[in-house]
């Protein structure tokens, strides 16, 4: 079994299996051992942990996870990678389960139940960038028992997750991530650490699940529908954005009255509201 995390052994495996990178699956494999060690450290993986890896690729980070965790479950969509993982790069580990599936279609709650008795797991992944947001939101919204998610994402996306109102990157993703977790950018990773090189710089962000959300809201789903509508048309006033949202059925006067009670201007834009203010607004709308 070849130890991955360097260009030589990565190329050898790719050639042995005549593997062609699939752009549609966002395949950029890590080839830097230092970065891999730092990701494992940032995630705080230890022998008590059950870890879910999304997109193991040829198993580079999976090898590090298998060495450091009690149990690893890796979900990979590309069936061409499965023989490489099973017969070669992960063949000597007995603490790995490989699932050939689309992570967006997998019942992660069932995996956590089966592999960790329903106790919180850690998610560690070098994510396919084209579906970063649905993966993160899917994990949070389906209330998977989670301790943390430590993931490589596009650098701009990592920044978007951490910012607050008044910045151009502030949006529905920032609010959703911050409602569920504490985001911390752990490191930036240059394109030269991947094969093939992506066109963007990357960053590793750790999302540590809040024990309790930082704000109380009666109807979480309604709050996120309001947030999504507010940022769908971010140059419009909040009142107009909500009024135009087909799935909300909101009355303009009711929204104006809520804003007045909250001491906010009738012409305020959604991008100026904090998470706490969106929660108050959602409660007004609900009632």
Q: Which residues bind ligand SAM (CB under 6 A)?
A: 25-30, 54-57, 60-61, 75-78, 102-104, 126, 128, 131
Residue nearest to ligand SAM (CB): 55
Residue 48 beta carbon to ligand SAM: minimum distance, rounded to whole angstroms: 22
Q: CB of 254: closest distance to ligand SAM in angstroms?
A: 40
Inter-CA distances, 225 with 54, 68, 212, Å: 27, 40, 21
Pairing of strands 96-100, 71-76: parallel
How near is the Cβ of 92 to ligand SAM at its closest, in Å? Answer: 18
Give the separation between CA 88 and CA 13, rounded to whole angstroms. Answer: 9
- Closest to ligand SAM by CB, 128 vs 171, is 128
Q: Which is nearer to ligand SAM, 13 or 75 (CB)?
A: 75
Nearer to ligand SAM, 63 or 174 (CB): 63
| Structural contact between residues 145 and 120, judged by C-beta atoms closer than 8 angstroms | yes
Least distance between ligand SAM and beta carbon 40 (Å): 12
> Would you put residue 6 in left (φ > 0), alpha (ψ -120 to 50) or beta?
beta
Cβ atoms of 269 and 237 closer than 8 Å:
yes
Complex with ligand SAM: residue 128 or 270, whichever CB lies closer: 128
C-beta of 22: minimal distance to ligand SAM in Å? 6
Q: 1, 89 in Cβ contact below 8 A?
A: yes
Of the two residues 42 and 75, which places its CB atom closer to ligand SAM in the complex?
75
- Could you give the CA distance from residue 242 to residue 248 in angstroms, rounded to a whole number? 7
């Amino acid at each position: 079994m070849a130890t991955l995390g360097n260009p030589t052994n990565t190329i050898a495996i790719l050639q042995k299996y005549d593997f062609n990178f699939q752009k549609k699956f966002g395949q950029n494999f890590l080839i830097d051992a230092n970065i891999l060690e730092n990701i494992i450290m940032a995630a705080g993986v230890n022998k008590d942990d059950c870890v879910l890896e999304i997109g193991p690729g040829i198993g580079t980070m999976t090898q590090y996870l298998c060495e450091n965790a009690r149990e690893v479950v890796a979900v990979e969509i590309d069936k061409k990678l499965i023989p490489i993982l099973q017969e070669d790069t992960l063949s000597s580990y007995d603490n790995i389960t490989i699932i050939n599936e689309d992570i967006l279609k997998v019942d992660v709650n069932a995996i956590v139940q089966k592999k960790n008795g329903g106790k919180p797991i850690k998610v560690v992944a070098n994510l396919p960038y084209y579906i970063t947001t649905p993966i993160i939101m899917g994990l949070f919204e389906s209330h998977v028992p989670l301790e943390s998610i430590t993931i490589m994402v596009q650098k701009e996306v990592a920044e978007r997750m951490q910012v607050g109102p008044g910045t151009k990157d502030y949006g529905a993703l920032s609010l959703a991530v911050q409602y569920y977790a504490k985001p911390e950018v752990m490191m930036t990773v240059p394109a030269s650490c991947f094969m093939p090189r992506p066109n963007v710089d990357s960053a590793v962000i750790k999302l540590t699940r809040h024990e309790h959300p930082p704000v109380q809201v009666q109807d979480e789903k309604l709050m996120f529908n309001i947030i999504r509508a507010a940022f769908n048309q971010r140059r419009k006033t909040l009142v107009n954005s909500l009024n135009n949202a087909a799935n909300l059925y909101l009355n303009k006067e009711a929204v104006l009255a809520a804003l007045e009670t909250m001491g906010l201007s009738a012409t305020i834009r959604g991008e100026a509201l904090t998470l706490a203010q969106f929660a108050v607004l959602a409660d007004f709308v609900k009632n």
